[in-house]
């Protein structure tokens, strides 16, 4: 009987060899989500004026979900992708009691944001689009709701000390895959959507395009 104890199992591809997939994002969390799902993609940061797009959408009376979609489309359109490539754009807006939150620029601002969110539920409007050669093939917005517990100021001080500048890239000033999980009493929604990419819906869209195996 052959000894197979030293056999190495090679990964089985779950997606077609072509066309390529490009993620228009600099987010390490989004990249990790795709890689954990065995999705091969190129990663290219999109240089867009997010503040200007948000301001225009708000001036036109659009809600947070629509604005997040506009940002996702803008990112997907503003990268150089090979002809025929599928481009994924994504963005996220946090709202709490009709207030929109941007990513904090300093730990002092992060402290202020967390004090405003403390003890309240907030919504993450997480948008994702799939584009090809400039045409939008599919769009989706997930809206997970997170209930932040009424933590103490001493906990907040220690949390900011532990996480440091890492939370400045997070719209809610937390990483659920890290110490941020301690901020919450309840979470309603897909964790991947909270991290910035509604993965289940995206995988279904990729299957519908024939990129992934049915």
**What is the β-pairing status of strands 99-101 and 86-96?**
antiparallel
The reply to whether 91 belongs to the active site is yes
- pLDDT score of 7: 47
- pLDDT score of 15: 82
Half-sphere exposure of 123 (CA within 13 A, CB side): 15
**What is the β-pairing status of strands 121-132 and 99-101?**
unpaired
**What's the predicted TM-score (pTM) here?**
0.89
Q: How far apart are the first and last CA of the chain?
A: 36
CB distance 126 to 194 below 8 Å: yes
- pLDDT score of 4: 46
In 3-state terms, what secondary structure has residue 111?
A: helix
Nearest alpha carbon to residue 180 among 208, 149, 210, 209: 149
- pLDDT score of 14: 82
CATH architecture entry for 21-208: Alpha-Beta Complex (3.90)
Continuous segment of H or E residues that includes residue 32: helix 28-36
- pLDDT score of 12: 57
User: What DSSP string describes 160-204?
Assistant: HHHHGGGGGGSTTS--TTTGGGGGEEEEES-HHHHTT--HHHHHH
CB distance 103 to 130 below 8 Å: no
Q: pLDDT digits over 123-179, tens only?
A: 999 999 999 999 999 999 999 999 999 999 999 999 999 999 999 989 999 998 889
Domain map of the chain by residue range? 21-208
Catalytic choice (3, 91, 98, 165): 91
For the chain, which residues score pLDDT lower than 50?
Answer: 1-2, 4-5, 7, 9
- Interhelix angle 64-77/50-59, rounded to 10 degrees, is 140
- pLDDT score of 107: 96
- pLDDT score of 191: 93
């Amino acid at each position: 009987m052959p000894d197979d104890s030293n056999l190495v199992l090679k990964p089985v591809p779950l997606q077609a060899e072509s066309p390529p997939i490009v993620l228009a994002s600099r987010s390490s969390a989004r990249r990790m989500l795709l890689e954990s799902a065995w999705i091969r993609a190129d990663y290219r940061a999109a240089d867009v004026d997010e503040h200007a797009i948000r301001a225009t959408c708000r001036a036109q009376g659009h809600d947070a979900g629509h604005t997040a979609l506009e940002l996702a489309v803008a990112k997907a359109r503003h990268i150089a992708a090979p002809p025929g490539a599928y481009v994924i754009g994504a963005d996220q807006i946090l709202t709490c009691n009709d207030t929109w939150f941007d990513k904090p620029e300093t730990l002092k601002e992060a402290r202020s944001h967390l004090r405003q969110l403390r003890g309240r539920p907030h919504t993450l409007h997480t948008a994702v689009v799939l584009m090809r050669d400039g045409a939008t093939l599919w769009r989706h917005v997930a809206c997970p709701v997170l209930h932040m517990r009424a933590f103490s100021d001493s906990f907040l001080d220690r949390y900011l000390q532990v996480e440091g500048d890492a939370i400045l890239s997070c719209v809610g000033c937390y990483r659920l895959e890290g110490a941020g999980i301690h901020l919450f009493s309840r979470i309603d929604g897909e964790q991947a959507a909270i991290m910035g990419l509604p993965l289940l819906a995206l995988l279904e869209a990729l299957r519908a395009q024939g990129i992934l195996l049915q």
